[in-house]
Amino acid sequence: MQINPTNIDFKQIRTELMRFMMAYEFALEEINTKINILKQEFEYVHDYNPIEHVKSRVKSPESIINKVKKKKLTLNIPSIQENIRDIAGIRITCSFVNDIYKIAQMLEKQKDITVIEKKDYIQNPKPNGYKSLHLIIQIPIFMSDRVENIYTEIQIRTIAMDFWASLEHKIYYKYNKEIPAHLRKELKDAAVSANQLDEKMERIHREINVLKEADGQTLTNEEAFPFPADLILPLLNDSDHGKE
């Protein structure tokens, strides 16, 4: 069956494709805003920021088409939206393993985020040694004439996990996905070393926090928002009156 090009509304197709790609960009903007709010709150209130780096990307149209072919999907927008759930992706890098679960929990509690799937490769690493926490979430995007519920993949890992994954990825494609046995062993050993580093840094972090608490050090960043005494005292007095 031949398609007559004169019967195709190219303008409408172009508009729908633009909306399709823009929805994923908007989803990343929404989630990045949420992450930035958490970062600033931790910096100002707790004087500690568990989020080291954040990277985000939307797959290119070519990459999406390749995945459609690989998964043997129907080539239409609804099928792609439902079956390819990592078109929009965010990677959050943390200092410590405990931070990974803390950040995931804070995101999961947000009312407009629905967690569709969770894969914990930290508790259950992949055979090659890969570790990370993966979340597939859905977030509503309010367009001018519709609401799109967009899937987004969030990966949360430590700096050590991220370094290992980046190196493994480069080697994987350098050898055209056929990594020599001796390099696979080296990578597995490196994954063990990265895990040991994470555990050691976690212990040091806990000890520092214990020492801070023992010394009575505040965890609030007073330099970020220095409040004058003549403002703080009336607030404290009002708080005391409210308890009576």
DSSP state of 132: -
List 62, 108, 117, 153, catalytic entry: 153
Torsional sign, CA 206, 212, 217, 221: negative
- Scan for tokens 């958490």, then name that residue: 38
Q: How many CA atoms lie within 13 A of 183 on its CB side?
A: 12
Assess contact for 128 and 183: CB atoms under 8 A.
Answer: no
Q: What is the dihedral of CA 119, 125, 131, 133, to 10 degrees?
A: 20
Q: How many CA atoms lie within 13 A of 54 on its CB side?
A: 17
| Catalytic status, residue 108 | no
Question: Which sequence positions are flagged as catalytic?
Answer: 153
